[in-house]
Every structure is written in C-alpha cells, then in structure tokens.
Structure 1
Amino acid sequence: MIENRFKTALAAGDRQIGLWVAAGDPYVASLIGHAGFDWLVIDGEHGPNDLRSILAQLQALESSPSAVVVRPPMGEAWMIKQLLDIGAETLLVPMVETAEQAAELVRAVRYPPVGKRGVGAGIARASRFSTVRNYVQQANENVCLLVQAESRKAMDNLSAIASTEGVDGVFIGPSDLGADMGVTDGIADTQFQRLIERGIETIQASGKPAGILTFNEALNHRYLELGATFVAVGADIALFTSALADLRGRYPVTSKK
C-alpha cells in the first residue's frame, strides 16, 4: 500500500500549497504536475470532467511529486465508490452542511463493517489490480476525506462537522458561501472576512486542518498566518486566461478590414 502523503502531511500540520486543475485534460494536468505545488485538485464539480477523464488525469499525474485530490460533483456514495476504485486517495466533497451528512460521507469512503463502500477492489486500479496485498484491510486508513463548508448553514454547523470522526479536514468555499449570504465582494467585505477567519479558528479548535481557496494573494497569506493548513492559491484556467491576455496585450491590436 502506497502511503497517502497528503493525509500524512495534514496530520503533521505541514502547510500545503495547492492549485485547482479544471481544464479536464491529462496533458495539461501532467504539465501542472511538475510545477512544484504540494497538492492539486482535479475538479469534477465545475470542470468538464467525468469518470474517464479523471482516470486519465490520475494516470498522467502518477509521476508527479504533487499529491492529487479529486472533487466529485456531489457527495453521492456510488460516485465516491467509483472515484476510489479508479485510484483517487483523497476526496474533497462539496456542499457539506451538517455533521450527519459528514458522517454519511465517512461511511461512503470506508469498507464494511465500519462503512458502506462496495467491495470491488479485485478489479480496481486502486489495488493495483489485486497486486496490493490486503488492500481492503488497509484502505480505510489510507483514504483522506475532506469536506467543504460553503453555506451559511454549514458555517453554523462548522464545529460539529469538523468534529466528525473520520473527517480529515474541512475546506471553506468562499465563492459559494458569499453567494449564499448575498455578499457580492467577499474580499472587501470585512464582516464576511471575519466569518471566514472565525471558521478557520473553529476548524482548528476541533483538531482538524482547515483549507481554503482564493485568487487573492494577500488573503492567501492572511489565511496561512491564521493557521490554515491546505490553501489553494489559484486555478489553471484563470492562470492561462490571465497569461494569454497579458501576452496579447503587449502587441498592437490587429487592424480589421
């Protein structure tokens, strides 16, 4: 069994700087995989991904030094089962609002008798196609479950969610949280930022690592100073768009006939 180094790093309190991978392309993922980030998120919620494209990216990133996290579109048990079987070791599940929901996700990533993950490891990439001895016996401890708090309800239940046994970390999603609260500019909204800061403190007080994603460098440094452990600092699509616009902007506008 190959150790889940991302889970080990979180448990040790090591800071992990990450990047969102949303292009849905294994060649792009392979390029990003050698950029030096500690962790990468293959985004199945908003990126144009399905099971096969996620599998292709997992394969492309196999030689990358970056740990790979997969975000499913939602926390459905059948979806989680498929992602784990194709070799995802760490899942980031969106829109978790209660401790009860978090507990169900813990069950979904674990084999019986403590969970309800279907046993199909004999034909799965996760077990290296049955070449990993005792995969089923070891998998429960190797899988890393991260849950996203990204609504007002989730923030109200944050302590209970973070305290759920089997949850390895809690990730605050500022974009959806701001939308749920009617906040149009979360960066400039002092009250909103204070809510996020209290959220990071609450997660830490529950003994779990806190994570977050923003595209604002000053805020990322602020969250790291507050003790956030796994912080994503950008996304491939946003970086490509910005770099392309910057390059094109350095040359004259083509005259149109």
Structure 2
Amino acid sequence: MAAATSLSHLLLAPKPRTHPKPRTHPNPSRLPSRSGASATPLPRRRRLAPAISAAASDLLSPAPSLKSRLAAGDTLYGLFLLSFSPTLAELAALAGYDYVVVDMEHGPGGIPEALACLRALDAARTPAVLRLPEASAVWAKKALDLGPAGLMLPAVESPAAAVEAVSHCRYPPRGVRGAAHPIVRASAYGLDDSYLSRCEDDTLIMCQVETAAGIAEIDAIAAVDGVDVVQMGPLDLSASMGYLWDPGNRKVRATLREAEKKVLEARKKKVAAALDGNAAYLGGFAMQNDPPEQLKLRGYHMVAGAVDIAMFRKAALDDVKRFREAVMEIGEEGDDEEGEKEEKENDGYWSE
C-alpha cells in the first residue's frame, strides 16, 4: 500500500521511544527494606504488550494515496471547501469523503488559511487537493511546500500549457519547482528522508479543461506525461460557449459528453493493451442538471459532488422555511378555546 502524499502517514506514525537504562541492584530478587533488613523476594512482573485496537491500528497504518486508489479502480467522491473552515474540513473528512479540494481559486483564503485546513484533514486522514488561483510556478511552489495530496490547476487549454503546469510541480531537471525541501512542511520539516524520492510520483496533478479551446485539445492534454487527471469544468465551459446563464444547454451537454468519451476511451485503450504513454483519469464537477450519481454511472474516476457553502446554504434555507411554515400553521389552526383548555390542564405545573 503506497503511503499518502499528505503528512498523515508521518504525523500519526508511532515513533520509537528511548528510555533511560534502569538502575539495577546487585541482587534484585532481594531488595533491602527501609530499616536495613532483608525483604522477602519480590515476584517477577510479567511485561505485557499494550493492546492495540483495530481502529487504532488502522489509524497508525499508512493511508493509501489518491493515485494508488485510482490505480486500484476506485471511484473517488470529493467535496469542495470554499469556506476555508478547518472545522468543516474535519467534518467532511469524518463524514467519509475520499478527498477534499481546498479552493484557493474561488474561495477567500490563501496559503495560511489552506494550511489550517490541511492540518485538519491530515489529522482525520483524508487527502487534500489544493486548487490554485492560476497555473503558475509561484503558486504551485507555495502550495506543494504545504504537503497536499494533489494540485488542481485551472484553465489548461493546450498540451503546451499542460506540460508547463506539470513542470511547476517537479524539481529540476524535470521541472522548475523551487527547492526548500529540508525545511518545508511537505517533508515533515526535513524529518522525512524519503520525500524527494517519492513526492513527484505520489502527488496527483489535475489539469482543469474548462473552455471550448481546451476541449478542442483534450486528447493531447490527457496524453501529456504527468497529467494524472483531466478535470472537466462544465460551468466555465458553458460561459466560454456563450451560455453563462444556461449551463445545462443541450449544446454544452453534448460538447461535454464528447470530451468525456475521448478521455475515457483513451484510458480504456491504454489499460486494455498495456500501451506506453500517458492516459489521464477523468474528473468532474456535479451540477444541478448533472448530479454526481450520473457522473459516476458515465465512468468518471473522480467526482466532486458537493460544495460546503452550498450545502450550508440549502440547510439554512430549509431550516428557516420549516420554522416560518410551522408558525403559520400554528396561527391558522390554534383557537382561544384550545388555548384555555391547555392552560387549565397545566395549572398544576406552571406558576406565574
């Protein structure tokens, strides 16, 4: 089982403990009493190994990486975190999402806020993907140094742009990532000696294809070495096609379906024939007109089905609606006689 790129496999792993050498007595079976007289022999104590529960054993074992789970054929379900709330990040992890995308493109937070969310997700053993504001070397460097499980790079429109995006995530000579590995969080501040040997293989690189120009090049983008996932962007795609107010337009849906088929078929051919070269997995966002279950049935490998703010918005609106409707029902159905009867029945309990 491959170790997770996130720091949970290091932060939660049991560390060897060193104990001072115990002081010994020349004859430990007979220790002197406080009065100086010889005491009776002390019974030998059996040293019991501490029992570790199954849950604790799972907690301390290495967590599988997103790449290893995709390779095993798992369909991963994720949540987008726009609030930058560590509490909601932790709750999402405990709820069972396979990954959480901390969205620095549209969310209000930056690197410090993302770091707090990563710590909450690592503690709950859930991989974090950071979505960058732009596909640049500066943002990729700062994000990777935090130690996420993956990066999502927006608005990749050509194979050349995909090659450049991948280079931002690799150290020289394969890329241009700045090197501060002895001191950054990604390497456990230099305590993880294996970081350099595995970081580029473990980090999931997701390129968003979300414009008409990108869709036209999607075959070539998915074939670029280092692109692990092609992430479809239906909302931006609809805007680029002139349907900002109509993301469910049939032309947008037809374009999206055609692009999906190209990525999925390329992946199937590579797996079936053990072909050389890259063939990216397919990732996507659920929409009101295209729920996550449908994406799963169409063969998507990674599905982002929820957004924390949208979930809270819906729950809040439903809560207020229930209260308002309940107040109206009480006002319509209640009358004075029933109220007086209830007061008499409760006279023995309530006091003024």
TM-score range, shorter chain: over 0.9
Which residue matches 2:287?
215
1:215/1:234 contact within 8 Å kept: no
Which residue matches 1:243?
315
Which residue matches 1:7?
67
Which residue matches 1:108?
168
Q: 1:121 aligns to what SS in structure 2?
A: coil
Match of 1:186 among 217, 227, 247: 247
Shift of 1:218: 5.2
Where do 1:74-223 residues align within 5 Å?
A: 74-183=134-243, 184-187=245-248, 189-207=249-267, 208-216=280-288, 219-223=291-295
2:215 counterpart letter in structure 1: M
Which residue matches 1:22?
82
Q: Aligned-residue CA RMSD in angstroms?
A: 1.8
2:263/2:281 contact within 8 Å kept: yes
Q: What is the distance in 1 between the residues matched to 2:154 and 2:168?
A: 14
1:38/1:66 contact within 8 Å kept: yes
1:217–1:123 distance in 2 versus 1, CA, 3 Å: same
1:105 counterpart letter in structure 2: A
Q: In terms of mean alpha carbon deviation, does 61-70 or 122-131 score higher?
A: 61-70
Q: Does 1:225 align with 2:297?
A: yes
1:24/1:49 contact within 8 Å kept: yes
2:4/2:127 contact within 8 Å kept: no
For structure 1, the 5+ residue unaligned runs are: none
For structure 2, the 5+ residue unaligned runs are: 6-64, 268-279, 329-352
Q: What is the distance in 2 between the residues matched to 1:217 and 1:181?
A: 17
2:291/2:305 contact within 8 Å kept: no
- Tell me which of the two structures has the higher relative contact order, counting C-alpha pairs closer than 8 angstroms and 6 or more residues apart: 1
Shift of 1:36: 0.9
Q: 1:170 aligns to what SS in structure 2?
A: strand
1:216/1:233 contact within 8 Å kept: no
Q: What is the distance in 1 between the residues matched to 2:156 and 2:111?
A: 22
User: TM-score, length-normalised on structure 2?
Assistant: 0.69
Q: What is the distance in 1 between the residues matched to 2:294 and 2:238?
A: 18
Q: 1:206 aligns to what SS in structure 2?
A: helix
Shift of 1:87: 1.1
Shift of 1:105: 1.2
Higher strand share goes to which structure?
1
Give the fraction of aligned pairs with identical amino acids, expressed as a percent. 31
Q: What is the distance in 2 between the residues matched to 1:99 and 1:2?
A: 30
Shift of 1:101: 0.7
Q: 1:74 aligns to what SS in structure 2?
A: coil
Q: 1:20 aligns to what SS in structure 2?
A: strand
Q: What is the distance in 2 between the residues matched to 1:217 and 1:136?
A: 43
1:24/1:54 contact within 8 Å kept: yes
Q: In terms of mean alpha carbon deviation, does 36-45 or 137-146 score higher?
A: 137-146
Match of 2:92 among 32, 51, 73: 32
1:218–1:106 distance in 2 versus 1, CA, 3 Å: closer
Q: In terms of mean alpha carbon deviation, does 1-10 or 129-138 score higher?
A: 1-10
Shift of 1:140: 1.5
Q: Does 1:56 align with 2:116?
A: yes
1:185 counterpart letter in structure 2: D
1:224 counterpart letter in structure 2: K
1:36/1:65 contact within 8 Å kept: no
2:158 counterpart letter in structure 1: T
Shift of 1:2: 3.3
2:295 counterpart letter in structure 1: Y
User: TM-score, length-normalised on structure 1?
Assistant: 0.93
The one-character-per-residue Cα deviations of 1:40-99 (angstroms, maximum 9, x if unpaired) are 110000011111000110011112243211101011101101111111230011111010
The one-character-per-residue Cα deviations of 1:125-177 (angstroms, maximum 9, x if unpaired) are 00001111132222111111000000000000100111101100100011111
1:220 counterpart letter in structure 2: P
Q: Which has the larger radius of gyration?
A: 2
2:96 counterpart letter in structure 1: G
1:197/1:223 contact within 8 Å kept: no
